[in-house]
Amino acid sequence: MSNDDIRFVNINVKDLLKKMINLLARNLNTTQNIMMNHTFLVICVFFLTTFNSFPAYSQHKNSNFPEGFDQLRNKYMRYEENDTAAFKYLQQFLNKSSKEKNFRQLSRGYIDAIYFSKTNKLEYADSAIAAANFSKQEDFIARAYLSKGSIYYFNYKQYQKALNEYLKAHKFAEKSDDDYLKNRIIYQLAVVKGYLGYYPEAIELLYGCIDFFESKYNNPESHPNIKFNHQKGYLNSIHQLAQFHFNNGDNAKVDSLVRIGLSHTPSTEAFSLEQSSFYKLKGMHYYSVKNYSKAIEYLKKSMPEIVRINDFAQLSIIHFYLGKSFINMGNEDEGIAHLYKIDSIFSKEKFLLPELRNTYEILISHHNKSNQIQEELYYTNQLLKANHYFLSDFKYLSQRISKDYDNYNLSQQNKVLYTKTNRFLLLLILCIIGIFLLILKVYLQRVKQKKIIDSYNKIITALKKETGFLKPNSIDIPKSKSNIQNSELLKEILQKLAFFESSEKYLDSELTQAKLAVHFKTNTSYLSQIINEYKDMNYNDYINTLRINYITKQLYIDKKYLNYSIEALAEKSGFSSRQVFSNVFFKINNLRPKDFIVNRKNELAKVKENVIQ
């Protein structure tokens, strides 16, 4: 017996009231019923909290609740989905919430129970809704309805019931400040629209979800948990968007989106389902471009994780494209075997995606050619059942989504149009500010360009006069530099520095002060003191100045250097980093290397033009 089953062994007042609430919540399908039963629902929840002394999980009593909600939640959240062992701590969380009449935490705990329960997910969803309603918090109510809708959608593929819950969630979420919750609901409504075949509308909704989830997922300041949740939302939206583009026949966008999805999907267990979903789409894309062997490879690659979570809707899609790929490759028996599996899923789950209807047409044709009348008749009847299923499901879904969601959107659009008339003055002011900023930007660009030209002309003047550049040291020691003792050693080091500069040894990117000191047979402190006193700069500035002076001169006298990349120029002048080179060049010359190159090229072009004239 599982821990879920243990929860219902001891029938007492609390258990009885829970079942009454669950039964009532499942029947609240209309506004009239909600109004009629609201009072009774509140009374039930009140008595539920009053009689919390009756233990629902007798194996794990904890009357004192010494731990806080977060500590308890951390204990059970380490368990895997559908692992009922989590209820050892989860029941303590629920008991504590009930005892303290903390209905927000109680609703949160029941939503967590959905994740860990194997067989009672809907019961916990109803309990979450009841607790959330009693909390009077709009976002908690919306989240509870969304959770119930997700059970119908994912676990049972009952889209009609899922849509009911999503629309309720959407109604309450509009009053909430939780943008993440709103986008989760919009995502689910987009999925239903896609299921109905309204691909352009579903695609538009999903692009909005992608923008939202991506902004949070790529925000470095976001908490890791927030980034994780938004990354999941981003990848699921990308996957669903690619699926709809595929159904809409836009293969180029499918390929692009799958590449984006896989590039953003970590190869970890936490994202194994998302990775498998993109593999499935990659296989479908290969099928559409008639690369059937690649299609089979990726479709099979996607199957293990889909099978593990028992997502029979996606499994049907995989079998469909595997079947058609094998048939197109001439292996009809293997292909038909995969199509049989779709029929098995339809018979067992009473579920079939509209795009898989062709399964039965192929099976009917196959058995007709083989003169297998009984089999042909069976699959004809299955096709009729599928048509009836599509007709009833589509009619209901289309009416509901048009009435409840699209009408709401029309109302919202009407409000937006009304608001726009009051925003005209603000828009005019913003336009004026925009024009002013544009003029300011142009002005600043001109000022910046003038500074660049002035700095360039200053460098060219210095190059022509050979001024402003470091030159070899005089061997004579000026009296003003007499602070350093041992004039013979000083003279020797100055000679070596002069040779060091003339031989361009400073271009070695591996050069360090320690290496240079060893080469000069002195220590770093003494060498540093000499450079500081005789070059009026520290070691790093000394080396950087030599290197920048060298490359600046080469750019001036040798045209081939003007065609080098910044990376190549950095390497030529002894810098190991493009950015460091650019920054040092700017520090010394007061303009970037790319600006120097542009101005030098322009100067040479003018000279050439004058010569021709």
Decide if 517 is inside a domain: yes
In residues, how long is the chain?
613
The residue assigned the tokens 């969803």 is: 125
Find the CATH number of the domain harbouring 533: 1.10.10.60
Which tokens in the block code for residue 249?
């026949």
Domain boundary among 136, 160, 180: 136
**Tally of structural domains, the chain:** 2
Inside any domain, residue 194: no
337: pLDDT strictly greater than 50: yes
Q: Kindly report the CA angle at 240 between 239 and 243, in degrees rounded to 5?
A: 90
> Residue 577 carries which side chain, given as an amino acid letter?
S
Question: 270 and 276 in contact (C-beta within 8 Å)?
Answer: no
Q: Where in the sequence is the domain holding 49, given as residue range(s)?
A: 1-57+66-136
Rounded Cα distance, 365 and 385, in Å: 17
128 inside domain: yes
pLDDT in tens, 14-50: 444 444 445 444 444 433 343 334 433 433 443 333 3
For the stretch 69-108, pLDDT in tens is 889 899 899 998 889 999 999 999 999 999 999 999 999 9
Q: Exposed, middle or buried, 429 (CB in 10 Å: 0-12/13-18/19+)?
A: exposed
**Is 288 part of a structural domain of the chain?**
no
The answer to whether the CB of 90 falls within 8 A of the CB of 109 is: yes
Whether 321 maps to a domain, the answer reads no
* Cβ contact 295:307 at 8 Å: no
Residue that the structure tokens 């099978």 belong to: 307
Domain annotation covers residue 564? yes
CB atoms within 10 A of CB 29: 11
Position 408, amino acid = Y
Q: What is the residue-averaged pLDDT of the chain?
A: 81
Query: Residues 124, 138: contact at Cβ < 8 Å?
Result: no
Express each pLDDT in 167-220 by its tens digit: 999 988 887 888 899 899 999 988 887 777 778 888 999 999 999 998 887 888
Q: How confident is the model at residue 160 (pLDDT cuts 50, 70, 90)?
A: confident
552 domain residue, yes or no: yes
Task: State the pLDDT at residue 101.
Answer: 92
- In this prediction the pTM is 0.51
User: Would 127 be classed as within a structural domain?
Assistant: yes
Question: 283-292, 463-472, 522-531, 537-546 — which is least confidently predicted?
Answer: 463-472
Residue ending a domain, among 111, 136, 161, is 136
The pLDDT score that the predictor gives to residue 405 is 52
The percent of residues above 90 in pLDDT, for the chain, comes to 46
Write down which residue in 136, 167, 195 finishes a domain: 136
Q: What pLDDT is stored for residue 457 in this prediction?
A: 87
Instruction: Give residue 486's pLDDT.
Output: 64
Cβ-Cβ contacts under 8 Å for 47 (sequence gap 6 or more): 13, 17
Q: Quick check: 279 and 302 in contact, CB under 8 A?
A: yes
